[in-house]
Amino acid sequence: MHNLKISLVTVTYNSDTTIKHCIESVIAQDYDNIEYIIIDGGSTDRTLDIISQYLQYIAVFVSEPDGGIYDAMNKGIKFATGDIVGTLNSDDAFAGSDVLSCIASSFIENVSIVFGNLNYVNPQGDIIRKWRAGDYKYGAFNWGWMPPHPTFYCQLSLFKRFGLYDLKYGTAADFELMLRFMHKNKTDAFYLDKLIINMTQGGVSNKSVSNRLKAWNFDLRAMGNNGVYFPHISILLKPLRKLIQFI
């Protein structure tokens, strides 16, 4: 279904070391029906200067203070007019030029969500670990499974039916949204067995023990409020699943 319009949202804030690579990975796509939306949180470094060099490729560009990454994502989704919506973090990049065309062709009849694979890389581009999501079967979230959010694409209509990112879940807002769409509301999802994203290693939720504990609490609330059977068991299984990513 290569006629589908894909709305792609990138959220930035002081991203001058990575945003050029991010944007150029979008420009390099062989899929031409892209609505590229960049929501900046009021950067004070060179981010805005770099983005200004690519305005011809950007459908919507906003720079103003926001309530954080998921608030900015919500803002971008509200601007979206495509059939499909996905996000591309400002320090990430598409793994190849055919990523969006493969995603678009995966939205066959009855498929409302597509997700794929991800590599964690260091700033030099070396692979640190590999996240191979695997097929989704209903109930997998009960056993600590989750798809890589940067590879998550869905029909715009799902946000209208089930809501946007819920900011009260903090760092787990992306996990909670995927739970709500896939587990709670049993939306049909397709696993695209393809490397979608090279993601720069890091993340707010992993930077300290206290942040990790806060993130676990957000995860537990997300699971409990979206019908996961045994949240405390599931949360213990989540990190165990990461071990195989280093192999």
Q: Is 1 a domain residue?
A: no
Q: Is 62 a domain residue?
A: yes
Q: Is 152 a domain residue?
A: yes
pLDDT tens digits for 10-54?
A: 999 999 999 999 999 999 999 999 999 999 999 999 999 999 999
Alpha-carbon distance of 124 to 146, in angstroms, equals 27
Q: What is the domain range of residue 162?
A: 6-246
Q: Is 214 a domain residue?
A: yes
Q: In this structure, are residues 121 and 200 in contact, taking their beta carbons and an 8 Å threshold?
A: yes
CATH of the domain at 71: 3.90.550.10
Alpha-carbon distance of 215 to 138, in angstroms, equals 24
Number of structural domains in the chain: 1
Instruction: Give me the mean pLDDT over the 101-113 stretch.
Output: 95
Alpha-carbon distance of 25 to 245, in angstroms, equals 24
Query: To the nearest whole number, what is the mean pLDDT of the chain?
Result: 91
